[in-house]
Amino acid sequence: MLAGLLTALSASAQLNTDRLTAIGRNALYFEDYVLSIQYFNQVIRLKPYLAEPYILRAIAKVQLEDWEGALEDCNQAIEINPFVPNTYYTRGFIHRQLGQWEEAEKDFDNALKGAPRNKTYTALRADARLHKEDYDGAIEDLNRLIDESPKNADLLHDKAFALLQKKDTLQAIEYFKQVAELMPNEPNNWSVVGTLSLMQDNEEQALEYLSRAIEHGSKWAGDYINRGIVSYKRHDYKTALNDYDKAVKIAPDDVQCHYNRALLLQEVGDYNRALTEYDKAISLSPQSTELYYNRGLIRMQLMQWAKALQDLDLTIRHYPYFMPAYYLASQAKMQLGDYQGAQRYRDKAYQLDKSKTTTRIYPKPKTDVEIVKEKQNERDRRKEFSVTQAQQSEEVKESKYESASRGTVQKNYSDVQLEPNITLGYYASGKELRQTNYTHALLDEINRRQILSAPLRFSVKQVSLTPEILQQHLERIAQLEAPYFFQRALEENIVRDNASAIEDCTRAIQTMAEDSILTPFVYLMRADLRAAQNSALEITLRDYDQAIRLAPTLAIAYYNKANLLYAHQDYKGAIQLYSQAIEIDPDFAEAYFNRGLTRIYIDQVKEGLQDLSRAGERGIYQAYHLISRFR
C-alpha cells in the first residue's frame, strides 16, 4: 500500500510539473515572459534537480535582457546536466551580452563539441574571438563559414575587421569592398572603404567611395568631413568648404566639423570666419587646450594682441616645452609695448633651446585636419534616479499588449522609485505576480481566533474605497471605545486620520500586555504611521525595533524600517535590514527590489543588478526595465 501510494504521488507530481512546464513554454512562446518565469519557478520548487526549467527560465530572462539572472540559471542547468549544447550556447550568448568574451568563447567551444557543424555556434565563437583579439582564431572560424556562404556580407565584414586589426589594411579594404558591392544601398559600407582609403593616403579611392556613401544617402557628418579632407589635401578649397558646410549643418555641435572648417578658412586667409569657428569649437570642447594655440595664431593675424596673448599663455601652461608659443607671445608683448615682458618670453625660449630638454613629452597643438572618430560619454547613474532626467534620456514606447506585464517589459518605462512600505489593514490589494509572503504565523493566529472585527492583512498598496464604505468606517470609529484602541486605530488608518491612529496605538500599547499576540503589530503600525508623518527618526526607529524584538521573524518590520533608513540616507543600514528581511523570507520581492536600487545608488552596480533580477523573478516586472537602464 505504501509503495502504491508513493508511486501515485510521484506520478501526480510528474503530471503537475509536466503541465506547469508546458504552460510555461506556451507563455514563453506567446511572449508572456514574466508569467512564464512564474510557472518555471513552481517547477523548480517541486523538482529542483531538473535542468530543463532552469534553462527555460534563463531563456525568458534573456528576452527580458536580465543577463545576470539568466546566467545564474544557466550555471545551475549545466551543473545538473553538463551535456546539452544548447545550454552552453545560451550561456555563451549571455556572456557575450555582458562583454565576457573569454567565458563566451569557452561556452561556444563546449556547444560545438556537441554540435560541431552548427553555424550559429561557430559564428558566435568567431565573434567572441574577435572581441578578445584572437584574430587568427576568428579568421579560422570565419573562413569555415565563408567557404559555405561566400556571399554572406556579415561574415565578410567580420573577416575584414579582423584583417584590419592585424594591420593588414590593404586586404581588409578588399573585403570591405566586397561587402559594399553585396549591399550597395548601405552608405556605411562605402563609408568604411572611403575612410580606410583616406587613412592609407589613397585619395582617388577615398574620394570615389566617400562620394558613393553620400550618393546613397549618408546622414553621417564624418563622410562629408572626410571627403572635404581629400579636397583640402588637393588644394580644392571651394569643394572642401562646401563639404564642411554640409557637415556642420548635419552636426552643428560636432567639434571636429568646426575645427576642420576653421583650419580651412585659416588656410585661405579668411581669418574672421576662422576665428568664429575656433570660438565655436572651444565653446563645445573647452578642455581641448590644443585649440587655443590655433586661435592665438588667428588673433595674431587680426592684431588682437591681448586676446592672442591669453591663448598663448594658456598654451604655455599646458605645453611648457612648446617653443613657438613663447616666440609668438613675445611678439604680442612687443605690440602691446611691454618690451621687458617680451624679453622674458624670448629668454625662456632661449633657455629651453639651449637645454635641449627631452624629459617631457607633450601633445602638439592641432595643426592638421582630422579624420572623424566617435567618442563615448561617461555616465552618472545617480542622475537616472531623477524622474525628469531619466525620461529625457529615454524614448518611451507604447506596448503592443494590453497587459503591462507581457512582452519585452524592459522596454516599458519605469520610474526609479523604491517599493513603498507594506502596511496593516483590513483590505489587501492585488498581489499580481509577486511571491512575497504577505502574512505571518502571529497574524494567521489573530485571524484564526477572530480577535478583530475583520481579518487583518498586509497590503502593498492602499486600496481606494467608495464614499459609502468610508462612511461605514467613520461610523465604526464612533462606536469603538476603550479598550478597543487598536481596532479604532485600524479604522482611523483606513480613513487617513493618521494623528488619531497614532494616539490610539499609543493607548493600546499602554493598556495591552507586552506578550499579547497583537502587541508587535501595534508597534509596527505606529512606526509606519509615524514614518508617513515624518515624525522624529529616533522614536520611529524605536517602534520598529520593538516590533522586531517581539516578533523576530516579522520580515515586513525589517523591510519597512529599511525604507525609513533609506529615506534618511543611511544606505548601508538600509541594505543590512533588507538583507535581514530576505534571510527570513527568501521570496521577498520588494526587499530585493529596494536593496537593488539602494546598491546601485551607492555604485554597487553588479550586486544591485543581481537584486533587481531576483525581484523580477519574484514578480516585480518593472525591475527588468531598470536592469536594462542601469546596466
Tell me if 508 is assigned to some domain: yes
**CA-based nearest residue to 156, from 171, 134, 178, 137:** 178
- Yes or no: say if 598 and 381 are a contact pair by the CB < 8 Å rule: no
- For residue 463, the model assigns a pLDDT of 72
DSSP calls for 243-281? HHHHHHHH-TT-HHHHHHHHHHHHHTT-HHHHHHHHHHH
- Yes or no: say if 162 and 142 are a contact pair by the CB < 8 Å rule: yes
Whether a cis peptide bond, with omega within 30° of 0, leads into 286 is no
What is each CA distance from 396 to 359, 412, 416, 446, in whole angstroms? 54, 7, 15, 46
Cell numbers found for residue 444: 494567521
Residue 467 sits in which domain range? Answer: 423-630
Q: Which residue has the cell 566617400?
A: 210
- Yes or no: say if 554 and 520 are a contact pair by the CB < 8 Å rule: yes
What DSSP character marks residue 482? T
Tally of CA atoms within 13 A in the half-sphere of 44 that contains its CB: 20
Calpha distance 180→178 (Å, rounded): 5
Calpha distance 499→413 (Å, rounded): 36
Tell me if 484 is assigned to some domain: yes
Tell me if 581 is assigned to some domain: yes
Residue 323: CB atoms within 10 A of its CB come to 14
Residue 307: CB atoms within 10 A of its CB come to 16
Count of structural domains within the chain: 1
- Yes or no: say if 391 and 246 are a contact pair by the CB < 8 Å rule: no
Task: Identify the bridge partners of residue 423 per DSSP, sorted by sequence position.
Answer: 459
Tell me if 84 is assigned to some domain: no
- For residue 314, the model assigns a pLDDT of 93
Calpha distance 143→129 (Å, rounded): 14
- The SS3 call for residue 458 is strand
pLDDT along the chain (631 residues), means of 10: 38 70 89 89 93 95 92 96 94 94 96 93 94 95 94 92 92 92 90 90 92 92 92 91 92 91 91 95 90 94 96 91 90 94 91 64 53 46 46 48 51 71 85 82 95 90 79 91 93 91 96 94 97 93 97 97 96 97 96 96 93 93 86 79
Task: Identify the bridge partners of residue 426 per DSSP, sorted by sequence position.
Answer: none
Tell me the one-letter amino acid at 548: I
Tell me if 329 is assigned to some domain: no
- For residue 396, the model assigns a pLDDT of 44
Task: Identify the bridge partners of residue 424 per DSSP, sorted by sequence position.
Answer: 458
DSSP calls for 47-85? -TT-SHHHHHHHHHHHHTT-HHHHHHHHHHHHHH-TT-H
Q: CATH number for the domain including 521?
A: 1.25.40.10
Task: Identify the bridge partners of residue 459 per DSSP, sorted by sequence position.
Answer: 423
- Yes or no: say if 94 and 77 are a contact pair by the CB < 8 Å rule: no
- Phi then psi dihedrals of residue 41, to 5 deg: -60, -45
Tell me if 370 is assigned to some domain: no
Calpha distance 406→609 (Å, rounded): 21
Calpha distance 227→288 (Å, rounded): 24
Tell me if 404 is assigned to some domain: no
Task: Identify the bridge partners of residue 583 per DSSP, sorted by sequence position.
Answer: none
Tell me if 396 is assigned to some domain: no
